[in-house]
Amino acid sequence: MEEKQTTYSDASLDKSTIDRDPLVLFRSWLDEAIAAGIHLAEAMTLATATRQGKPSARLVLLKQADERGFVFYTNYNSRKAAELDANPQASLVFYWPQFERQVRVEGTVEKTSAAESDAYFKTRPRESQIGALASPQSQVIPSREYLEQQAGELEEFYEGRDVNRPSHWGGYRLRAERIEFWKGRPSRLHDRIVYERGPDESWSISRLAP
């Protein structure tokens, strides 16, 4: 089977001209993906591992990215949460094929504050708030009907009232220590620029072979 030919743009990554702050470059790439109408442009693969090093990965949504790190929300009783509690090292991967761009982020993870989690939970659609209470994430359940019944009962219980964030649900923040930007180029001579955080919190920038 012949390999499908990919048409790459001529735009390149040059470490001498890109911003010294990787977050500036990341935000510009994400903003361009959102502006282009890419569905769930903020989706990212989150890779975690057990204390013994057994990996697992899944897609989650980025909810915030600033100098403190990359934030996502989940059930604290889920598999990913158990692995992060045991081994607070994780990586993220963003991929926007329409732009031939990929970003890999590696670092340490900690929970967001209760106040941050409360504030975000209040912005979620009511159905999602109910869902966070109804679903025992990553646990075995008897049927789809069981899940829908749980949600229905909670809808009745909270009718006419606000739904407060459950203590088992909240955010995590990944503090980036390494961020790699990949840009597809012809003949597999892709651009790879990596930022690495030093002891003084400054970023060094290097080019990697594709």
The set of catalytic residues is: 188
| 8 Å CB contact between 88 and 108 | yes
* Token duo for residue 4: 């499908």
* Token duo for residue 7: 């048409």
DSSP 37-72: T-TTTTEEEEEEE-TT--EEEEEEE--EEETTEEEE
Could you tell me the maximum CA-CA distance found in the chain, to the nearest angstrom?
61
Listed in sequence order, the residues at least 6 apart from 164 whose beta carbon sits closer than 8 Å to its beta carbon are 121
d(CA 117, CA 130): 15
